[in-house]
């Protein structure tokens, strides 16, 4: 990925002040695809944003404060390439906006950030993570991806282990609802050579008497000729309103100057009968260069009578399906990193 790096030497005003080195990196991704499929009612042909990767532009900065401590920040905005609008509901920096410190003690960040729980899904769905063709991308609920007003701590790497903890404030001032919207997340990850394992748990207070609880386990192993990964998620809540499990099993196979993605998954609804779903997808990514990829694939979802999951890309809108329909789609797209 080619990046534009701006480096500044900041000199202290006082005599003898130490020089601090700062840099800001401008980076991004643009991804658009043509999709045609059936949603159970009609054939839909559309141009969508972000098939394999959500489109974005970002600014990442670091300043060396000395003594092994650095100040860091990230500002990242989502872009809908198909119509030029801002993603994430029009937020200026809807993807990420945080500032923090990093050093031998670990990393502390404050702001709008990805939850460690979402990272379990992202890291262990192959083909770029949570993109077109990944079952987890079809099943995962958006509120679990990011948290506002979040404080996060990540430990340094300890013999392959990294642990994270996040606490996000809902900032609800309604009487008796001061904790509504608060989010607590913990995760642990272990990496050793070709093996990677991660487990995370998230608790989101939804009312003064209820909390949504997600637990996810992810693992991958690179056999060189094929890389495989598995995500398994369990969602429960205190009020027994939402209870479901899903899995995503994926594999990527290096092939002909690119990579073949194979992905299957399934969701089981523990509250509503006849509301389960299964998915199967094939996608081929051809690497024109280190920064540019063209891709194409076929994806299908089989819904039970009361389920209505649809095919969707990493950044586009889902192909909304009728209850009980079996949506299927083909897509061809291009992605460019800069």
Phi-psi region of 266 (alpha: psi -120 to 50; beta: other; left: phi over 0): beta
Interval 193-251: pLDDT, tens = 999 999 999 999 999 899 999 999 999 999 999 999 999 999 999 998 899 999 999 99
Residue 13 reports pLDDT greater than 60 = no
What pLDDT is attached to residue 316? 84
- State the Cα–Cα distance between residues 51 and 312, nearest whole angstrom: 8
pTM of the model: 0.92
- Of the chain, the percentage scoring pLDDT greater than 90 comes to 87
pLDDT band at 73 (very low <50, low <70, confident <90, very high): very high
DSSP character for 143? Answer: G
Q: If you average pLDDT over every residue of the chain, what do you get?
A: 94
What pLDDT is attached to residue 19? 53
Interval 95-120: pLDDT, tens = 999 999 999 999 999 999 999 999 99
Interval 18-58: pLDDT, tens = 456 899 999 999 999 999 999 888 999 999 999 999 999 99
For the residues 133-151, what does the mean pLDDT come to?
94
For the residues 151-180, what does the mean pLDDT come to?
96
What pLDDT is attached to residue 14? 41
Closest CA to 310 of 273, 270, 281, 274: 281
Residue 73 structure tokens: 């920040």
Superfamily of domain 25-337, CATH level 4: Porin (2.40.160.10)
What pLDDT is attached to residue 17? 42
What 3-state class would DSSP assign to 89?
helix
What pLDDT is attached to residue 251? 98
If one counts every other C-beta atom within 10 angstroms of the C-beta of residue 260, the result is 17
pLDDT band at 318 (very low <50, low <70, confident <90, very high): confident
- Domain residue ranges of the chain, discontinuous segments joined by +: 25-337
Residue 12 reports pLDDT greater than 60 = no
Q: Which residues pair with 181 in a beta bridge?
A: none
């Amino acid at each position: 990925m080619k990046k534009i790096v701006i480096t500044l030497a900041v000199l202290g005003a006082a005599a003898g002040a130490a020089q601090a080195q700062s840099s800001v990196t401008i980076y991004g991704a643009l991804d658009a695809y043509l999709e045609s499929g059936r949603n159970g009612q009609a054939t839909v042909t559309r141009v969508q944003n972000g098939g394999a990767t959500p489109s974005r532009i970002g600014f990442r900065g670091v300043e060396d404060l000395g003594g092994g401590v650095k100040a860091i920040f990230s500002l990242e905005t989502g872009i809908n390439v198909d119509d030029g609008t801002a993603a994430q509901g029009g937020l200026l920096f809807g993807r990420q906006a945080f500032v923090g410190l990093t050093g031998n003690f670990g990393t502390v960040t404050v702001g709008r950030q990805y939850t460690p729980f979402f990272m379990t899904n992202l890291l262990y769905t192959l083909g770029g993570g949570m993109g077109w063709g990944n079952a987890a991308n079809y099943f995962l609920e958006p509120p679990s991806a990011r948290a506002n007003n979040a404080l996060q701590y990540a430990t340094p790497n300890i013999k392959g282990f990294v642990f994270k903890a996040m606490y996000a404030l809902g900032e609800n001032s309604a009487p008796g609802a001061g904790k509504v919207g608060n989010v607590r997340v913990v995760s642990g990850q272990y990496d050793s050579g070709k093996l990677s394992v991660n487990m995370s748990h998230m608790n989101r207070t939804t009312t003064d008497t209820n909390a949504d609880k997600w637990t996810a386990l992810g693992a991958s192993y690179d056999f060189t000729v094929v890389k495989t990964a598995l995500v398994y998620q369990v969602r429960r809540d205190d009020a027994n309103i939402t209870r479901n499990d899903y899995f995503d099993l994926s594999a990527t196979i290096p092939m002909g100057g690119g990579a073949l993605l194979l992905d299957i998954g399934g969701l089981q609804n523990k509250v509503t009968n006849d509301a389960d779903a299964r998915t199967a997808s094939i996608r081929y990514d051809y690497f024109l260069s280190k920064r540019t990829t063209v891709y194409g694939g076929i994806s299908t979802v089989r819904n039970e009578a009361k389920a209505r999951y649809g095919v969707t890309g990493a950044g586009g809108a889902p192909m909304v399906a009728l209850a009980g329909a079996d949506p299927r789609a083909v897509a061809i797209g291009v992605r460019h990193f800069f």
